[in-house]
Amino acid sequence: MAEIKSHIGTQNKKGQTYTDPWKMMHEAPRNPSFYTGSEVIKEALRRASCDVMIAYPITPQSEAAALIGELFAEGYIGDYFRGESEFAVMSQCAGAAFGGARVFTTTAGPGTMRAMENFPMWAGARLPIQMIVTCRGINSPLSIQPDTIEISYLLNTGMLVWHAETAQDFFDWILKGFMVSEEPEVHLPLALCCDGFFVTHTKDVVNLTPTDMCLPPYDPYRSPVPCMDMECPPVRMMRDPFIMKSNYISYATHASWQQEIWAAVERSRKHTIKWINGLIDTENTDAEVVIVASGTAVSQGREAIRLLEDEGVRCGLIKVKSLRPWPGEEIREATKNAKHIFVPEFNVTGWLAKEIKATIPNSERVHAGPHVCGGMTMPPEIIVSEIKTALGLRSESLAGRGS
Amino acid sequence: MTQYRVLPGPEHFLPPAAASMGIYLPNPGEAHINGVIVPEEKAYEEAARQFLMAQVPTIFPGPLVLWAWNEKAAKKAAAVRSLYETLKECVQPGQKPMLIPMPDYRPKYPKINPEVEINPNHPNLTIWHNKIDCCMFIGVHCHQANLSLKIIRGGTSCYTVAMCAQAGHEDAMLSFRDASVEKILKLGEWIRKLKGTVKPRLTSAKTSASN
């Protein structure tokens, strides 16, 4: 922390003051602004003291990537360029982070999948890169529409994975995310996810911190691994007998290395709780019916709860903010009174419901749904219908709406 | 609260990372012993006691305090040397303090020389060869220190201490955090203070290194 403190109060070349991150995020005045999610990403980056941003176009993150290019032109980003593909971008991000830079990128859908090999590599190399994932469909036939299936592929990469509900979450968590992932005992990449279009392309009032304040610069000397060293693992890879040899010592080293990545995920828990005020948010969890959701499914769940209250059905809400680290203990505690747990999701497989089922006792309480996918919206009425049907209450057929 | 405790091994074919077993790192001003958070003062006493009990108490300085790569590193290295000299002064006949560097993290092939160095990829070889039964890591990058500490816990009975300049290490049996020259020297003072009050494990040579 000594290195961070030494910068606080000084100014960068744009005249922004390096500010104590906690004061900046929790005590500084906020300015309400009406922005799209993409514009919010730009505004967060303006305040992030980011060294390198690497871009590649893929909907729906292209606008954010282009807007950050404007920041570079204005002098707020150290370096900015377009990679040759998503795989190249993520590899280039690794190179920049190996060299000791604070690195940021954005991707989406098939881009996330194309670059996938890099994410466990980032985690294994302990590179605290931040990647925005504006989720969309990934399968053929091609869809650019909102769908959160790609998050499920990120869950076992060793990255931290957070799922923002709103543009406000996005603004705050981009800045706070650097603080968590750059802690020396964590030092892992963060996939900060949102539901594409719903968050990136809609406008909302977002309370921004002052433009003349910014995060202290990244201090690579606090890293748990040396900066890029061609003689040491993980850079020294394929040519090395240690990596390739089939013997117990080699296996034990690899096994310990993997364990250390997941230990670091665990260590992020206390910092994540501190910075984003808990891994989950809860409302009325003494109710017998509880909705558990992440991303914009939380917003739809909130509206469904309002509709249910009009009909005399009391329902609680759990907003899952962090998926890695996984809030297992928190969800067990928050669902202990629930007889019915509903998990609305914007994907076809219901990965969040599976995680919750694996976490809580009496998992038959979990109703995995409703699901929508392929870009469909999730009207609150279908959540209401699912809940009422499960409770044995009469529910009107939604197929007839509007007729 | 977790029931798991970070104890001398050999623990398992592949022991778990202590963090995955619910062990938390200490906050500033604290340390941990066996995974239980304690005031830092208590950890000095216990670390000194473990050093004085050991047949082969050993300090493993890493690249962050070697090579005089900046002024702070040079001062820490001098403090580590002073701690080692203190240890030599305070042990009893039959005890054999050692100072073995972890100069870098390069995999050593075809074979490490355990007489002169320790390596994070197979630290157990140096522990076994020298029959080290208590060791302290200092100046080793945290990721590499954790690899070492876990492998040592898995395959040896060596008691491990971490003097970490960052947030500490759950995989050590005892860990300080925010290590400084002052803290290194303070540990030396505790060793001096306990000199002659701790009975060494001189009769346990057969089992101490748990080959």
Answer yes or no: is A253 within a domain: no
The CATH number covering residue A59 comes to 3.40.50.970
Show the tokens assigned to B22: 């619910």
As a whole number of Å, the CA-based R_g of chain B is: 16
ipTM of the assembly?
0.93
Confidence band, pLDDT 50/70/90 cuts, at residue A243 = low
Average pLDDT over residues A144-165: 96
- Which residues are CB-neighbours of B155 under 8 A, at least 6 positions away? A252, B9, B10, B124, B210
- Looking at A1-85, which runs of residues are DSSP E strands? 17-18, 31-36, 52-55, 79-82
pLDDT tens digits for range B90-116: 999 999 999 999 999 887 777 789 999
Kind plus residue range of the DSSP H or E element containing B59: strand B57-61
Judged by average pLDDT, the poorest of A1-10, A41-50, B157-166 is: A1-10
The CATH number covering residue A389 comes to 3.40.50.920
Residues of B in contact with A234 (CB under 8 A): none
Kind plus residue range of the DSSP H or E element containing A151: helix A149-154
Tell me how far apart the 2 most distant CA atoms of chain A are, in Å.
Answer: 70
Q: Is residue A305 located within the same domain as residue A380?
A: yes
Q: Which of A222, A238, A269 is the last residue of a domain?
A: A222
Q: Is residue A142 located within the same domain as residue A210?
A: yes
* Amino acid letter, A180: V
Contact A101, A77 (CB under 8 A): no
Answer yes or no: is A242 within a domain: no
Q: Which of A185, A203, A222 is the last residue of a domain?
A: A222
Short-list A367, A296, A358, CA closest to A148:
A296
Confidence band, pLDDT 50/70/90 cuts, at residue A76 = very high
- Looking at A269-364, which runs of residues are DSSP E strands? 280-283, 289-293, 315-320, 322-324, 340-342
Confidence band, pLDDT 50/70/90 cuts, at residue A252 = confident
Q: Which of A222, A246, A271 is the last residue of a domain?
A: A222
d(CA B129, CA A180): 40
Beta strands A366-367 and B159-163: pairing type?
unpaired
A185, A225, A262 ranked by CB distance to B25: nearest: A185
pLDDT for res A2: 47
Angstroms from A125 CA to nearest CA on chain B: 10
Q: Is residue A293 located within the same domain as residue A192?
A: no
pLDDT tens digits for range B172-188: 999 999 999 999 999 99
Q: What is the DSSP-derived secondary structure letter of residue B124?
A: H
Average pLDDT over residues A75-90: 96
Q: Which residues of A touch B (CB under 8 A)?
A: 126, 183-185, 187, 222-226, 229, 231-233, 236, 240-243, 249, 252-253, 255-257, 259-260, 262-264, 266-267, 270
Q: Is residue A216 located within the same domain as residue A338?
A: no
Neighbours of B82 (CB within 10 A): 14
Number of alpha carbons in the 13 Å side-chain half-sphere of residue A333: 9
Q: Which residue of A has its CA nearest to B108?
A: A242
* A259/B106 Cβ within 8 A: no
d(CA A73, CA A71): 5
Complete domains list, chain B, with CATH: 49-196 (3.40.50)
d(CA A281, CA A357): 19
B104, B106, B147 ranked by CB distance to A257: nearest: B147
Q: Which residue of A has its CA nearest to B169?
A: A185
Contact A359, A328 (CB under 8 A): yes
Confidence band, pLDDT 50/70/90 cuts, at residue A371 = very high
Q: What is the DSSP-derived secondary structure letter of residue A100?
A: T
pLDDT tens digits for range B53-77: 999 999 999 999 999 999 999 999 9
Q: Is residue A99 located within the same domain as residue A191?
A: yes
Beta strands A130-135 and A103-107: pairing type?
parallel
d(CA A166, CA A253): 41
Percent of chain A, pLDDT > 70?
A: 94
d(CA A164, CA A162): 6
B16, B143, B154 ranked by CB distance to A126: nearest: B143
Residues of B in contact with A266 (CB under 8 A): 17, 19-20
Answer yes or no: is A332 within a domain: yes
Q: Which residue of A has its CA nearest to B154?
A: A252
- What are phi and psi for residue A317, nearest 5 degrees? -140, 135
Q: Is residue A34 located within the same domain as residue A172?
A: yes
Q: What is the DSSP-derived secondary structure letter of residue A345?
A: B
Vertex A236: Cα angle to A235 and A241 (nearest 5): 150
Is residue B141 less than 8 Å (CB to CB) from chain A? Answer: yes
Q: Is residue A56 located within the same domain as residue A157?
A: yes
In which domain, by residue range, is A177 found? 2-222
A90: buried, middle or exposed (CB in 10 Å: 19+, 13-18, 0-12)?
buried
Q: Is residue A303 located within the same domain as residue A381?
A: yes
Answer yes or no: is A331 within a domain: yes
Answer yes or no: is A209 within a domain: yes
d(CA B185, CA B176): 13
Exposure string over A379-403, b if 16+ CB within 10 A, otherwise e: bbbbbbbbbbeeeeeebeeeeeeee
pLDDT for res A245: 67
Kind plus residue range of the DSSP H or E element containing B83: helix B71-90
Three-class secondary structure of residue A105 per DSSP: strand
pTM: 0.95
d(CA A66, CA A82): 10
Q: Is residue A131 located within the same domain as residue A202?
A: yes
Q: Which residue of A has its CA nearest to B106?
A: A232
Contact B209, B8 (CB under 8 A): no
Answer yes or no: is A102 within a domain: yes
Short-list A196, A265, A246, A177, CA closest to A36:
A196
Answer yes or no: is A268 within a domain: no
C-alpha torsion B38→B42→B48→B50, nearest 10: -50
Q: Which residues pair with A213 in a beta bridge?
A: A17
- What are phi and psi for residue A292, nearest 5 degrees? -115, 125
Q: Is residue A43 located within the same domain as residue A191?
A: yes
Q: Is residue A156 located within the same domain as residue A54?
A: yes
* Amino acid letter, A334: A
Structural domains of chain A, count: 2
Residues of A in contact with B122 (CB under 8 A): 249, 252-253
C-alpha torsion B45→B48→B50→B54, nearest 10: -160
Q: Is residue A44 located within the same domain as residue A161?
A: yes
Look-up: residue for tokens 């006493």? B45
Angstroms from A254 CA to nearest CA on chain B: 9
Q: Is the pLDDT of residue A402 over 60?
A: no
